[in-house]
Structure formats: C-alpha cells, structure tokens
Amino acid sequence: MDAVIQFTSQSQGRDRIFRTTQYACALAAYFLRNTSKRKDLVAKLKSLEVNMSAGRKLFRLGNTVNSIEAARRTMQLSDRALCLCLTAANINRALYFFCDNLLWARSVGLIRTIDKEHWSLNASRFYFLSLVMNLTRDVYVVSQLMLHIARDKHFRQKMAQHLNESPEIAEAVIPQMDAFLFLLLESLKTHPAVALDMVKNVCDLFIPLDRLGIHQSNAGVVGFCGLISSLIGIVTLAQPKLRMKP
C-alpha cells in the first residue's frame, strides 16, 4: 500500500495512470465501435479518453523546464554519441511540451489566437523527432552491449555449448544472421532496462506517425501501442532499476 501511495503522489505517477486509462479507453472503444448495444458505452469511453488527455496536459505544465535542464545535463556526457542523441531528444521534447502547453492554454481559454491544428502538428513533429533520437540511443547502447558480450569468453563458451561445438569453431559454424540474433537476444536478456526502453519507444512511435500521416494506423493499433507503452512507463517508474540510464 505504501508503494502505491508513493507512486500516485508523484506527478509522473499520476500522468502514467491517466495515460494508461486514456489508451485503454481508446482501445476498448475501437473494439466495441461496431456493437450497436454498446453505443452508449463507446461514447462514455471516448469522453473519458478526452478527459484523461486534458488532465495529462495539466500535469505536464512544468515539463518544458525539466526537459531543458535534462538537455543541459546530457550535454556534459563524455560519450559523444550519447551526448548528441540525448541532448537532441531532450531539446525536441522541450519543444513538444511547449506546444502542448500552448494547446492546453487554448483549451481553457487563456489563449484564443493560436491555430490549434498547426500547433498540434508541430507538437507531433517534435515528439516524433524526440522518439527517433531516443531510439537511436537505444540502438547505439545495444550495439555497444553486443560488442562487449561478444568479447566475453563465457559468452563464447555458452554459444559453443548451444551448438555442442568448441569455442574456437563456434563462429564458423553459426550462420552470421543466427549469431547476430543470438547475440542481440542475449544482450537484451541481460539488460532488461534497455529492452523495455526500446519496446516503449517503438510503441510510442506509432502515435506521431499516425498523427503526421507518415504511417496511417487505425485507432486500435494506436490504442494498443499507447497502452503497452504506458504500462512499461508505470513499471519503470515503480522499479527505478528497470529505467534506462542515462
């Protein structure tokens, strides 16, 4: 119970819960859309989805500053590849939250002169670029892990045992693609934080891709991907050891 209270007391925790509810409603509404007896339920689900989205915008009002501060920290990373990817991701994330804050201000009537569709598209573009840079970081980290594991003698022995062959001839026996997949799976298995972050970013990517018209998906796909991403977000927030660092 204490863990639940601590989780829900955080603004990020509440945002994760709202986001999970939002995409769960979207997914449920999609599956029930053609059921004539469930029209009232579908309408309520869509209304709840809209309310959850609006509530999340309120929780994110301070995230622009947080993202700028995160970009300042990542600029000091010694690994230049990580520095570039994470700084670019945080800058685009800050711009996304800025657009999101403007849209929230318009929705509550504080600003009436901005073009909602224009700023919504801008928000999606910045969100998309942020996800691309985060995925690039994930690919880079995975490649480094694969190189490190490939040099490990214990891994070579494990791979050889898998083939019932000696370590010296293991690489010659395994087809190149099979060796790559074996190494990739071993890297993700031993580093679940990287695997979860990659799955989360891939799922999130479907949302701006659909919004920008780059890859059209139906509401069910977007709802499912958003739900999976949100659940991963809850897990990584509740279990910091599963969170990608830096």
pLDDT at 161 over 80: no
Torsion from C-alpha of 28, 29, 35, 40, nearest 10 degrees: 120
Domain parsing of the chain, residue ranges: 2-133+201-242
pLDDT at 170 over 70: no
Residue matched to tokens 């309120």: 58
Cα distances from 165 to residues 59, 160, 161, 182, 186, in angstroms, run 56, 5, 6, 16, 19
The C-alpha atoms of residue 28 and residue 242 are separated, in whole angstroms, by 28
pLDDT at 186 over 90: no
Provide CB contacts within 8 A for 50, sequence distance 6+. none
Q: Is the peptide bond before 208 cis (omega within 30 degrees of 0)?
A: no
Contact between residue 195 and residue 184 where contact means Cβ atoms under 8 Å apart: no
Q: Which tokens belong to 180?
A: 């790559």
Longest CA–CA span in the chain (Å) reads 72
140 or 216, higher pLDDT: 140
Q: Which tokens belong to 87?
A: 């700084």
At residue 122's C-alpha, the angle toward residues 117 and 125, to 5°, is 125
For 201-241, what is each residue's pLDDT tens digit? 999 999 999 999 998 889 999 999 999 999 999 999 989 89
pLDDT at 183 over 50: yes
Q: Which tokens belong to 173?
A: 């026996």
For 44-79, what is each residue's pLDDT tens digit? 999 999 999 988 888 888 889 999 999 999 999 999
Q: What is the pTM of this model?
A: 0.87
As a whole number, mean pLDDT of residues 25-33 equals 94
The C-alpha atoms of residue 194 and residue 190 are separated, in whole angstroms, by 9
As a whole number, mean pLDDT of residues 11-33 equals 91
pLDDT at 175 over 80: no
Percentage of residues in the chain having pLDDT higher than 90: 59
> Under DSSP, is residue 33 helix (H, G, I), strand (E, B) or coil?
coil
Confidence of residue 169 (pLDDT cuts 50, 70, 90): very low
The C-alpha atoms of residue 235 and residue 136 are separated, in whole angstroms, by 22
pLDDT at 200 over 80: yes
pLDDT at 163: 52
